[in-house]
Amino acid sequence: MPRSDSNEGTRPADADYALDWLSEPERLLDRARAEPDALEAYFHGLDAAHAFTATSLVDSEALHLAVAALGTRQLIASTGFDFPDIARHIDWDAAEVAQVQAEVRVEPFGSRPIGLPSLIYVPGREAMTWDLPDVIANALTDKSEDRILVIATPATPERPLRRACKAFAMTGLETRVTEATLKAGSIRDGALAARVSYATAREATSSALVKVGARRLPGLLHSLSLLAFGIFQTGEEAPAILVDRWGLKPRQAQIAMLLAQGLTRAETARAMEISEATVKKQADILFQILGVSGAAEMVRLISVATVMQALTSASHGRIGWIDGSSEPLRFVHAAGGRRIAVSEYGRPKGRPVVILHSSMTTRHPPRQLVARLVSEDYRVITIDRPGFGLTDPSEPAAGTVGQDIFADAAHDMALVLDKLRIDRIDVIGRGGAQAAVAFAGLYPDRCGKVVLVNPDPISSRDERRWGVLGSFKEAYQRRPGLILPAARLIARAMTRDYLGKVLLKSMRGSPPDEALLADDDVVDDYYRAVRMFATGRLEGYVREQLYFARGKTFEYPVDGSGWSILIGGHDTLSDPANALAYWRELLPRGEFEILPDHGRLLAYADPDLIVSRLRS
């Protein structure tokens, strides 16, 4: 990602409030102590004033990005899926209008034959505010007034689609039939394209429906198609682009979305509180307008529309790019249709170890730690806990107060192990210590060696209240009601460059952490672990912060025998002495080390140490 020392163009222009807290955390701390009610009201007011707009994450391989020079009408740089003759398809007049009017422009619907990528034109100055791949960002920097970003969205992103199928453990046949059906618009035509019998295609589709958790073909294709493009915020409203750009009426757009998601016409009618006859009539009109023969074929257009909506609303950097080829993903289904997101690294027959994420990150692990583990022949597993990343939140048990969210995480871990056919697993907690304890207590026979890295105590047992992290910890403890608005405000401002500033300010006073952050790869790693929060998936973060703030400790029959607990002497969130005292009470037989040369980012700084303790 491009690096910038300037605040401008790297985050939302109205996100100064977020930097204010970081510049003077003592001010926030003083107000949390003196006027907690006023502080909570202030956060809620800011949240209301800066309406949360979720960021979309898009697989960079699913789109084609190109930078064009308007003066010479030539391409300067490009990346993404292969589209060698994109220059021939560019409407240069439309591109110039976009640049002059300083607005993102989308090709009119129907201006390009079905099957060819749709094009979007982004003015150079606007595109420079986006968090773009380096090759594109660098090409925009020179003469941005003459540069236009051209984005091509294919109807079917092939390699990302295959990765999406793999995430649900679909077989090669199921993947081939699904890809062919998405392109052809029906199972029968897909069977012909895949060169299999209709009966074989139906059987493969039925199996794929079960694996994805979809009930009907359109829902299957919709889920896989969107996952192939990337990750999008969810909402009840149909994409505005179906109305604004494609000429559908709002009711038609809503019907199109529901049918594409796999609802029957009867279910769509009930959901919209209209008659089934009305749905049928409007669906027929829809198919005519869009030039398709049914809901399955319409899925391709809906998916592209969703991508286009994400891109056209991406002003001030409200979009991020992922490299799907380097981020393994699979889903495991839990009871009630919940999905659990999992990543795997290393040989399938290696010794299994799970890396638990902290309460402020998601499953994406430090890459150097993973590389070190894989070199020692470990099979590395990472799992998003309930409500984090791509894992759905767990449902609170009926009538319960103070639900043990870490027990829910432990049950998810056990289910993942069942699906992966793993009997017993070692554990590394880069945070997430409570989840490790819950897993060991509930599934003692399945828990192997455990290494905890900077385990945090509940807030009432920790005296550290300085700096950015300490001020928020105090505010959260005094007024748990401000956790969600604060999280939304920070997530709204989150870009890679903004995160770099946050980390530097948060690690102030910890020499080893400050030195480590000079490495861009470390900041990139951390950004991968937090960027899903910008998509609005905050429930897991809020639940776990409430746990720390309210101070309830769940007890399990675990004494820490054979466990290694590593505490950085310069931890900026938890006082090392307080953390040691708290965890010694819970894990009296654990082997504790306070490391004077390490800080909060120990898991990123010293993978050799962690692996050596795991193997001891």
User: In angstroms, rounded to a whole number, what is the distance separating the alpha carbons of residues 463 and 576?
Assistant: 10
Residue 348 lies in a domain: yes
Angle between helix 250-260 and 295-312 (nearest 10): 120
Identify the CA nearest to 314 among candidates 141, 10, 104, 500: 104
Within 8 A by CB and 6+ apart from 244, the residues are none
What is the reported pLDDT for 535? 79
Number of independent structural domains in the chain: 2
Residue 88 lies in a domain: yes
Sign of the alpha-carbon torsion through 157, 160, 166, 167: negative
User: Can you list the residues of the chain whose pLDDT is less than 70?
Assistant: 1-22, 51-56, 60, 81-84, 108-116, 155, 231-241, 244-246, 308-327, 397-402
By DSSP bridging, strand 56-59 and strand 319-322 are parallel
Residue 196 lies in a domain: no
The CATH number given to whatever domain includes residue 392 is 3.40.50.1820
What is the reported pLDDT for 457? 95
Identify the CA nearest to 554 among candidates 401, 438, 446: 438
Residue 484: count other Cβ atoms within 10 Å of its Cβ: 18
Give the structural domain span for 129. 57-153
Residue 63 lies in a domain: yes
Residue 456 lies in a domain: yes
User: In angstroms, rounded to a whole number, what is the distance separating the alpha carbons of residues 265 and 280?
Assistant: 7
What is the reported pLDDT for 451? 99
Looking at 153, 186, 213, the residue that finishes a domain is 153
The CATH number given to whatever domain includes residue 76 is 3.30.450
User: In angstroms, rounded to a whole number, what is the distance separating the alpha carbons of residues 311 and 319?
Assistant: 7
What is the reported pLDDT for 30? 87
Residue 255 lies in a domain: no
Looking at 135, 153, 171, the residue that finishes a domain is 153
* Contact call for residues 148 and 107 (beta carbons, < 8 A): no
What strand order describes the sheet that includes 118-123?
A: 74-80, 64-69, 147-153, 118-123, 105-106
Looking at 130, 153, 176, the residue that finishes a domain is 153
Query: What Å distances lie between residue 281 and 252, 270, 275, 284, 562, CA to CA?
Result: 10, 15, 10, 5, 67
* Contact call for residues 135 and 79 (beta carbons, < 8 A): yes
Query: What Å distances lie between residue 378 and 50, 354, 359, 418, 596, CA to CA?
Result: 45, 10, 24, 18, 28
| Count, residues in the chain | 616
User: In angstroms, rounded to a whole number, what is the distance separating the alpha carbons of residues 484 and 341?
Assistant: 23
User: In angstroms, rounded to a whole number, what is the distance separating the alpha carbons of residues 474 and 464?
Assistant: 9
**H or E element: which one contains 69?**
strand 64-69
**Three-state SS for 345?**
strand
What is the reported pLDDT for 376? 96
* Contact call for residues 191 and 180 (beta carbons, < 8 A): yes
What is the reported pLDDT for 2? 34
Terminus-to-terminus CA distance in the chain, angstroms? Answer: 38
Query: What Å distances lie between residue 431 and 205, 379, 565, CA to CA?
Result: 41, 20, 11
Residue 110 lies in a domain: yes
| Token pair in block for residue 413 | 């871990």
User: In angstroms, rounded to a whole number, what is the distance separating the alpha carbons of residues 334 and 414?
Assistant: 11
Query: What Å distances lie between residue 236 and 50, 229, 266, 390, CA to CA?
Result: 20, 20, 18, 19
State residue 148 phi and psi, 5-degree precision: -130, 135
Cα–Cα–Cα angle for 248, 254, 258, rounded to 5 degrees:
130
Residue 382 lies in a domain: yes
Residue with tokens 């994805």: 212
What is the reported pLDDT for 391? 93
What is the reported pLDDT for 494? 78
**H or E element: which one contains 569?**
strand 564-570
